[in-house]
Chain A
């Protein structure tokens, strides 16, 4: 049977009213929970695992697909409107998106995020349908040296979010790297910088730092300098909807973001952070408008598309090989195992209804989320009409619930307070925020891959550039770093 026929059968499964209902529940639930800072798709699906006892597998996975995409939409909404990215994947969205919302272009930012996610999700799902097996093989091809080169390339993206002072940018980055080494060292099993505290053994949770730096730091900063000017309560001046010009500026970033996100999502370990960072860097480098840093729509369109494409990308190795490449994929694998199913090549032949039903439901979930979200955009921006005291109080309460819900640990709440205070100081003295998170995310990744690559080659550093991919990516990284100053010098000489 051809792929197309199988897909049509899949639609037959996914379009059954009961399954449509589960897709709707999943989408709504995913969107709602994605709004809570710190609670991403992995945790949401993990919380829903008990339903596997009562639900048919098709319905459960169709609902999980809705949650997966819905959480992405929900995360971008809070990033844009209240500068509170719920998870690492929507961190880059906050940078430009929130600036847009402040300039009264929140609706356009939300629209480009929603449509971009839809476009990326659709293309990625198509790619999943037709070229999944080929993409899946990439996972076996990539070696630790290649991943290390990719992290180095992503590190180079830090330069574009450095802000006005290099020194302060590097301080932010190194604080992130320093926080990233806390906890048990994965390679040697040794506790590092835990100060004898049990709760620090598992390391500092990224989501706690993310929520504290953005939401708590911002709240403290605004509180200390709050000037309520009568009449500015409503900050959405002259709602500008998604215009033709916005579309013209958005479509290319959507496609580029998808092209970056899908293959990287299929690789173990790169998650949604690296694709979104790379997409943001690329758009910023390509942009000529000079609007970046002040609310450029390209900076929302690209990362949002990359984020959603990566989400579909993780399904490729999971479904075709049984290889979970991210936390979300690992939870989905657990769900498969609850049904006694083993994802992999045999799943396609043994359970075609399930696999193709799931793939078809991704299309349907995307359409449903677009229909659900575009009309809601107008409603979401109304959130900003809440009077400032109550709005900021609400942001803090939601941040607190997200942090407390992770492990009910007072240590997490203490880290929230300390990092929030740091976020305040960073705002007062103009330190960029994003490099802290980049250091925290990439530091441990780079360390792990570097040490694995070196251990496997018995300490021979040549191994780091010995594969075609690592050599190529490393060269690109060096060029990105060295080329602009070099060109500047050449121009000055001429």
Chain B
């Protein structure tokens, strides 16, 4: 997660001069170029032409890959020349404030955790956990209230939208028998 290492040290002083502790975010351009390279690599295995259409399935992949590769390099050059980035305005956020890394990581956990627990534990429990984590990231310490609110929102949403015919999986999730027998559930 390179975003953390550089962003944590961003300050407001120095227009990208060497004296400032500002670390230039070259990784941004590198990441864009890497994505472009990955797409180009995949395009290499796709036919670029077609019998009659002149352009084949590979062309747009090549365009997207080459575009990203070049744009990433341009961005790195711009960064080298001292391009500065001003965070976008958002309500409730102080754009010039340093990043609160702990809050960010807790919020990210709320997004990542459902990938693992959504299927085995079901939507309501997952919603309850994600809800509480986000509240914590925003500084709320009312654990019990948040857990209950999250559970109610999750359960209500599950009930309503399942009744409407939306498939949201079993209420308490679908555990693979072998795995959970192994874990002793």
A interface, CB within 8 angstroms of B: 29, 33, 36, 39, 47-48, 50, 102, 165, 167-168, 170-171, 174-175, 177-178, 180-181, 185, 187-188, 190, 192-193, 216, 218-228, 232, 235, 387-390, 392-394, 396-398, 400-401, 404-405, 408, 410, 413-414, 416-417, 420-421, 424-425, 427-430, 443, 447, 450-452, 454-455, 458-459, 461
Nearest-neighbour CB distance to chain A for B104, whole angstroms, equals: 4
The 9 closest A-B pairs by CB, nearest first: A459-B54, A389-B138, A393-B134, A223-B107, A455-B53, A47-B165, A224-B104, A389-B140, A178-B64
Q: Is the beta-carbon distance between B154 and A174 smaller than 8 angstroms?
A: no
Report A-chain residues with C-beta under 8 Å of the C-beta of B74.
Answer: 167
- CB < 8 Å A-B pair total: 246
Does B97 sit at the interface, judged by CB under 8 A?
A: yes
Residue among A167, A193, A222 making CB contact with B92, cutoff 8 Å: A222
CA distance A70 to B102 in the complex (A): 41
Q: Is the beta-carbon distance between B137 and A410 smaller than 8 angstroms?
A: no
CA distance A178 to B65 in the complex (A): 7
Task: Report B111-163 residues with CB < 8 Å from chain A CB.
Answer: 111-112, 114-116, 118-119, 123, 126-127, 130-140, 146, 149-150, 153-154, 157, 161
Report B-chain residues with C-beta under 8 Å of the C-beta of A192.
Answer: 42, 46, 57, 61
Q: Is the beta-carbon distance between B157 and A397 smaller than 8 angstroms?
A: yes
In the assembled complex, 11 residue pairs joining A and B whose CB atoms fall closer than 8 Å, in A order, are A171-B75, A185-B57, A187-B53, A190-B46, A220-B111, A223-B100, A224-B101, A410-B116, A429-B87, A454-B52, A461-B54
Q: Is the beta-carbon distance between A218 and B90 smaller than 8 angstroms?
A: yes
Residue among A405, A416, A452 making CB contact with B167, cutoff 8 Å: A405
Q: Is the beta-carbon distance between B130 and A400 smaller than 8 angstroms?
A: yes
B interface, CB within 8 angstroms of A: 3, 7, 25, 28, 32, 35-36, 39, 42, 46-47, 50, 52-57, 60-61, 63-65, 67-68, 71-72, 74-75, 78, 83, 85-88, 90-95, 97, 99-101, 103-104, 106-108, 110-112, 114-116, 118-119, 123, 126-127, 130-140, 146, 149-150, 153-154, 157, 161, 164-169
CA distance A157 to B32 in the complex (A): 23
Nearest-neighbour CB distance to chain A for B163, whole angstroms, equals: 10
Residue among A48, A181, A396 making CB contact with B110, cutoff 8 Å: A396
Residue among B7, B75, B127, B167 making CB contact with A408, cutoff 8 Å: B167
Residue among A223, A405, A408 making CB contact with B134, cutoff 8 Å: A223
Report A-chain residues with C-beta under 8 Å of the C-beta of B104.
Answer: 220, 223-224, 424
Q: Is the beta-carbon distance between A401 and B168 smaller than 8 angstroms?
A: yes
Nearest-neighbour CB distance to chain B for A334, whole angstroms, equals: 14
Report A-chain residues with C-beta under 8 Å of the C-beta of B87.
Answer: 221, 225, 427-430
Nearest-neighbour CB distance to chain B for A102, whole angstroms, equals: 5
Q: Is the beta-carbon distance between B71 and A174 smaller than 8 angstroms?
A: yes
Residue among B52, B56, B85 making CB contact with A428, cutoff 8 Å: B85
Residue of B nearest to A232 (CB): B92
Residue of B nearest to A459 (CB): B54
Q: Is the beta-carbon distance between A220 and B164 smaller than 8 angstroms?
A: no
CA distance A387 to B135 in the complex (A): 10
Q: Is the beta-carbon distance between A225 and B146 smaller than 8 angstroms?
A: no
CA distance A405 to B106 in the complex (A): 24
Q: Is the beta-carbon distance between A428 and B7 smaller than 8 angstroms?
A: yes
Report A-chain residues with C-beta under 8 Å of the C-beta of B88.
Answer: 221, 427-428, 430
Report B-chain residues with C-beta under 8 Å of the C-beta of A450.
Answer: 55
Report A-chain residues with C-beta under 8 Å of the C-beta of B126.
Answer: 400
Report A-chain residues with C-beta under 8 Å of the C-beta of B123.
Answer: 401, 404
Residue among B93, B114, B168 making CB contact with A221, cutoff 8 Å: B93
Q: Is the beta-carbon distance between A410 and B146 smaller than 8 angstroms?
A: no
Residue among A170, A389, A413 making CB contact with B135, cutoff 8 Å: A389
Residue among A170, A221, A232, A455 making CB contact with B50, cutoff 8 Å: A455
Report B-chain residues with C-beta under 8 Å of the C-beta of A393.
Answer: 110, 130-135, 138, 146, 150
Nearest-neighbour CB distance to chain B for A56, whole angstroms, equals: 20
Residue among B56, B111, B135 making CB contact with A416, cutoff 8 Å: B111
Q: Is the beta-carbon distance between A410 and B118 smaller than 8 angstroms?
A: yes
CA distance A165 to B110 in the complex (A): 32
Report A-chain residues with C-beta under 8 Å of the C-beta of B166.
Answer: 39, 47, 405
CA distance A195 to B167 in the complex (A): 27
Q: Is the beta-carbon distance between A225 and B168 smaller than 8 angstroms?
A: no
Nearest-neighbour CB distance to chain B for A79, whole angstroms, equals: 14
Query: Contacts A167-B78, A223-B107, A427-B87 given: A181-B61 contact, CB under 8 Å?
Result: yes
Q: Is the beta-carbon distance between B67 and A167 smaller than 8 angstroms?
A: no
Report B-chain residues with C-beta under 8 Å of the C-beta of A443.
Answer: 60, 64
Query: Contacts A218-B90, A429-B85 given: A223-B138 contact, CB under 8 Å?
Result: yes
Task: Determine which residue in A178, A222, A393, A405 has the highest number of CB atoms from chain B within 10 A of its CB, and name it.
Answer: A393
CA distance A455 to B67 in the complex (A): 25
Residue of A nearest to B165 (CB): A47
CA distance A187 to B54 in the complex (A): 13
Residue of A nearest to B71 (CB): A171
Report A-chain residues with C-beta under 8 Å of the C-beta of B116.
Answer: 410
Report A-chain residues with C-beta under 8 Å of the C-beta of B119.
Answer: 408, 410
Residue of A nearest to B153 (CB): A397
Q: Is the beta-carbon distance between B164 and A33 smaller than 8 angstroms?
A: yes
Nearest-neighbour CB distance to chain B for A96, whole angstroms, equals: 14
Residue among A167, A222, A405, A421 making CB contact with B90, cutoff 8 Å: A222
Q: Is the beta-carbon distance between B54 and A454 smaller than 8 angstroms?
A: yes
Report A-chain residues with C-beta under 8 Å of the C-beta of B97.
Answer: 225, 227
Nearest-neighbour CB distance to chain B for A384, whole angstroms, equals: 9
Residue of A nearest to B166 (CB): A405
Report A-chain residues with C-beta under 8 Å of the C-beta of B36.
Answer: 174, 178
Residue of B nearest to A39 (CB): B166
Residue among A180, A188, A389 making CB contact with B47, cutoff 8 Å: A188
Residue of B nearest to A393 (CB): B134
CA distance A416 to B55 in the complex (A): 32
Nearest-neighbour CB distance to chain B for A164, whole angstroms, equals: 8
CA distance A425 to B88 in the complex (A): 10
Residue among A218, A235, A414, A461 making CB contact with B115, cutoff 8 Å: A414
Q: Is the beta-carbon distance between A219 and B130 smaller than 8 angstroms?
A: no
